[in-house]
Chains A and B, each alone.
Chain A
Amino acid sequence: MKKSIFTVMTAAMFAAANLSAIPSDAADNGGSRMNVDPVETVTLSDRDWNREQLKEGENDGQEVSTTTTSPVTTTEMTTLTNTTTQTLYGPPWMLRTTTTTTMPVLLYGPPPTTTTLDRDLEENLEKMRGDVNGDEVIDTFDAIALRRAILFDEYKDQRAKLLSDINSDGKIDVTDLVLLQRFLLGAIKDFRDNNSTSMSDKTTTKEKLRTTTTTTTTKTSDAIFTTSYDPRGDIVVTLYGIKPSIDRIRDFTDNSFKDILDIVEAAETEETEQQEDK
């Protein structure tokens, strides 16, 4: 079955409420044991990997520049990751994931290259982490963008890809989405330090505007689903998929729907183009 922007948005809505799906095999066994979302991993490219490695040992105040060499041998790195997972019902529990990463063997790879990193990005990486859609605001739209990125391996650009690695573990997967959702819910104030308030300071006018216009909940992450709701835009589907469609909804809705409609329209256009290409 096809994923669409609608299913991604639905999943993002559930993710915002910290709901995880039960995999089919668990359901077959009675569904009593809860599991996590299947973790889809996006492996960073050599360049990103090097950038991440460099970040680990970055030198204060120095020009960030290095010479990298393509690996010529296989390197296995094993990391243990503790992940807090929310069950469908009941308390969260800890999952220990073992990730083994194998660096590629390039016997005849390209010659060593010199890479100068974006100094602004390096300096502000931690502050900007989570801004997946690049609008300089961390909000629910970033969660939607991240969900889409995980599902389709699609990023606006390399910068967006770097900033999508919310937990800085070198890969982009559902654990990043969970962390972002927890931040949006207000459960944590910083992606690294739960007691910090630095990230909440970054909640800017756009987000505050959404929050202040919320009439039904004070949870910031629900803002998209509360303030944007207009029953005229509800697409009651009788039998036939998603029609009547977006043009009809646009006629009815005020600007609070604009962002979502733009996303949906862009996705539909892209899908149509892909179909035509085929």
Chain B
Amino acid sequence: MLDVNMKRAHLEQMRDYRQTLMKKPELRNLFLELTLRCNERCLHCGSQCGDVTSEEISVEQYRQFLKQLKEDMSEKGKMLDITGGEPLLRKDFFDILGAAHELGFEWGMTSNGTLIDDHVARELKRTGMKTISVSIDGLENTHDEFRRTPGGYKKAMEGIENLLRVGGFEHIQVTTVVTHKSITELDELYRIFNDIDIDSWRVVNMEPMGRAKTHPELLLTDDDYRTLMEFIRNKRIAGEPVSYGCSHYLGMEYEREVRDWYFLCTAGIYTASISANGDIAACLDIERRPEFVQGNILRDRFSEVWENKFEVFRRDLADDNPTCAKCDQKEFCHGDSYHSWDFDNNKPQLCFKDILF
């Protein structure tokens, strides 16, 4: 383990910085959920894709919104994070992102990779895509079963190969959502990914949210979580570009060791999102409740909403729960990731205390 005193000091700095950010937030990531349509039916989907209607806004509406955003807040230092559903299902995908590119925005996307043939890869390059994260959730059978898409694994791997062949992207990442069933496949997956020229492998646990709530048997056990963290740390010690995701406070044992930064839930302080229907919120992973919708880009000016609303995200959730309020890690965890909070019962749905630390 790295030096605990060093980590504690850094976490204290991060705690103080977070307080500053809550008073003076700074937009770095803007998620655009282009659609809720998807060609897969993943067991862990947080957006309930396929079960809900996808209201979508037009190319021209996106163009106007981005123009306004550029005028008010500048495009510099901001990343548009394109997501869905499967965003490539939109026929006007390249019109929207072409407009963003013309306005000078940098953008990246997440995709299941199944629609990325050679032509699409070249179009992604032409319209300025910088980074992409493609989902591979296990070995072939596991992946296809988990995403309920026969042939999905092969298509996704072909998609990655097409991206690598076309080249010119800043970062090609594979993301794996690990379940209790797939955790035994990590070593084999590593061998597969290590043989291809991707830039990084992001390994995260299945979160108890969305459709995943109906599959508790797939959630990781306490031992699984420890195995996952040890796996990632070990790869990083060896200099491999493997990382955990942005979620969850991991305690002194694993903070800064399984990812390149200290825990900071960026929802509402670095991160905002535009839902498929134009609603303005913080992070798309957060439960879709009416009180979390801060406005809509079709009727509100985003910069004003960002400046004057979002209070609900700029506070410590730990204050709402007596156990959390007394926890000795509260100042670093502050209630953990916003998306994993149970707002009905005011408690975290996933807390690593007594599991990892």
Chain A residues with a Cβ under 8 A of chain B: 1-4, 6-8, 10-11, 13-14, 17, 19-24, 27-28, 31, 37, 88, 147, 151, 215-217, 219, 222, 225-226, 229-232, 234-244, 247-248, 251, 275, 278
B79 adjacent to A10 (CB under 8 Å): no
Whether the Cβ atoms of B246 and A236 lie closer than 8 Å is yes
Who on chain A is nearest to B235 by CB?
A: A21
Q: Contact: B241 with A6, CB < 8 Å?
A: yes
**A235→B261 contact, CB < 8 A:** yes
| A7 nearest CB across to chain B (Å) | 5
Query: Interface residues of B: mostly helix, strand, loop or mixed?
Result: mixed
Residue B200 CB within 8 A of the other chain:
yes
Cα(A182)–Cα(B26), bound, Å: 41
Q: Which of B113-121, B187-195, B300-308 contacts A (4 or more CB under 8 A)?
A: B187-195
Q: If A1-B201, A7-B240 touch, does A239 touch B110 (CB 8 Å cutoff)?
A: yes
Closest Cβ of chain B to A140, distance in Å, is 13
**Which residues on the A side are within 8 Å of B264 (C-beta)?**
231, 234, 236
B262→A278 contact, CB < 8 A? no
Is the beta-carbon distance between B241 and A4 smaller than 8 angstroms? Answer: yes
By a CB distance below 8 angstroms, the chain B residues around A231 are 10, 13-14, 16-18, 262, 264
For B13, give the chain A residue with the smallest CB separation. Answer: A231
Q: Which 6 pairs of residues, A with B, have the shortest CB-CB distance? A: A241-B171, A21-B238, A11-B239, A216-B9, A240-B108, A231-B17
CB-defined contacts of B235 to chain A, threshold 8 Å: 21
Among B81, B187, B191, B193, the residue within 8 A (CB) of A240 is B81
Quick check: A151 and B194 within 8 Å, CB to CB? no
Could you say which residues of chain B place their CB within 8 Å of the CB of A248? 28, 77
Chain B nearest Cβ from A34, distance in angstroms: 11
Q: How far is the CB of A50 from chain B (nearest CB, A)?
A: 32
Interface size class, chain B: 35 or more
Residue of A8, A226, A234 most packed against chain B (CB within 10 A): A234
Q: Quick one: which of B105-140 are within 8 Å of A by CB?
A: 106, 108-110, 130-133
Contact in complex: B200, A238 (CB < 8 Å): no
Determine how close the nearest CB of chain B comes to the CB of A156; give it in whole angstroms. Answer: 20
What chain A residues lie within 8 Å of B198 (beta carbons)?
1-2
Whether B133 lies near A236 (C-beta < 8 A) is no
Question: For the complex, what is the distance from the CA of A52 to the CA of B266, rounded to whole Å?
Answer: 54
B2 at the interface (CB under 8 A from A): yes
Could you pull out 23 A-B pairs where Cβ atoms are within 8 angstroms? A1-B197, A1-B240, A1-B241, A2-B199, A6-B241, A6-B260, A7-B241, A10-B260, A13-B2, A14-B2, A14-B257, A19-B237, A28-B187, A88-B237, A222-B6, A229-B13, A230-B13, A231-B14, A231-B18, A232-B17, A234-B264, A240-B133, A244-B106
In the complex, residue of chain A having the shortest beta-carbon distance to the beta carbon of B26? A232
Q: Which residues of B contact A240 (CB under 8 A)?
A: 79, 81, 108-110, 130-133, 171, 173
CB-based contact B170/A243 at 8 Å: yes
Quick one: CB contact mask for B242-270 with A, threshold 8 Å, 1 for yes?
Answer: 11011000000000010111101010001
Are B6 and A217 in contact, CB atoms less than 8 angstroms apart? yes
A-side interface mostly: loop
Nearest A residue (CB) for B267: A238
A237 close to B234 (CB less than 8 A): no
Q: Report yes or no: A22 in contact with B262, Cβ–Cβ below 8 A.
A: no
Q: Which residues of B contact A239 (CB under 8 A)?
A: 81, 83, 108, 110, 133, 173, 175, 202, 245
User: Whole-angstrom distance between the alpha carbons of A14 and B261 in the complex?
Assistant: 14
CA distance A40 to B259 in the complex (A): 25
CB distance from A217 to the nearest CB of B (A): 5
Bound together, the chains give a CA A104 to CA B17 distance in angstroms of 59
Residue in A147, A229, A240, A241 with the greatest tally of chain B CB atoms within 10 Å:
A240
Given the known interface contacts A17-B2, A222-B6, the answer about A243 and B237 at a Cβ–Cβ threshold of 8 Å is: no
Extra A-B contacts (15), CB below 8 Å, given A24-B191, A217-B3, A217-B5: A1-B240, A7-B236, A7-B239, A23-B238, A37-B238, A216-B5, A225-B6, A229-B9, A229-B13, A231-B262, A237-B202, A238-B266, A239-B81, A241-B131, A243-B171
Q: Find B108's partner among A2, A37, A147, A243 (CB 8 Å cutoff).
A: A243
In the complex with contacts A27-B234, A241-B173, A244-B77, A236-B270 CB distance below 8 A: yes
Verify A237–B237 contact, CB threshold 8 A: no
Q: Which of B201, B231, B237, B266 has the most CB of A within 10 A?
A: B237
Chain B nearest CB, measured from A70 CB (Å): 36
Q: Is the CB of A229 within 8 A of B234?
A: no
Chain A CB within 8 A of B78 CB: yes
**Residues of chain B lying within 8 A (CB to CB) of residue A2:** 197-200, 241
* Cβ 8 A contact of B238, one of A11, A229, A251: A11
Closest Cβ of chain A: how far from B108's Cβ, in Å? 4
With an 8 A cutoff between CB atoms, is B29 at the interface?
yes
Asked if B3 and A237 make an inter-chain contact with CB atoms under 8 angstroms apart, the answer reads no
- Cα of A247 to Cα of B130 in the assembled complex, Å: 15
Q: A199–B341 Cα gap in the complex (Å)?
A: 53
> Which of A3, A20, A244, A251 counts the most chain B CB atoms within 10 A?
A244
Known interface pairs A2-B198, A7-B239, A243-B170. Does A234 touch B81 (Cβ–Cβ under 8 Å)? no
In the bound complex, residues from chain B placing their C-beta under 8 Å from that of A243 are: 79, 106, 108, 130-131, 170-171
In the complex, are the beta carbons of A244 and B28 less than 8 A apart?
Answer: yes
Q: Does B216 contact A (CB under 8 A)?
A: no
Residues 1-26 of chain B, each 1 if its beta carbon lies under 8 Å from chain A, else 0: 11101101110011011100000000
Give bound CA distance, A45 to B314, whole Å.
60
Instruction: Report chain B residues within 8 Å CB of A251.
Output: 77
In this assembly, does B271 line the interface, its C-beta being within 8 Å of a C-beta of chain A? yes
Q: Are B170 and A241 within 8 A (Cβ)?
A: yes
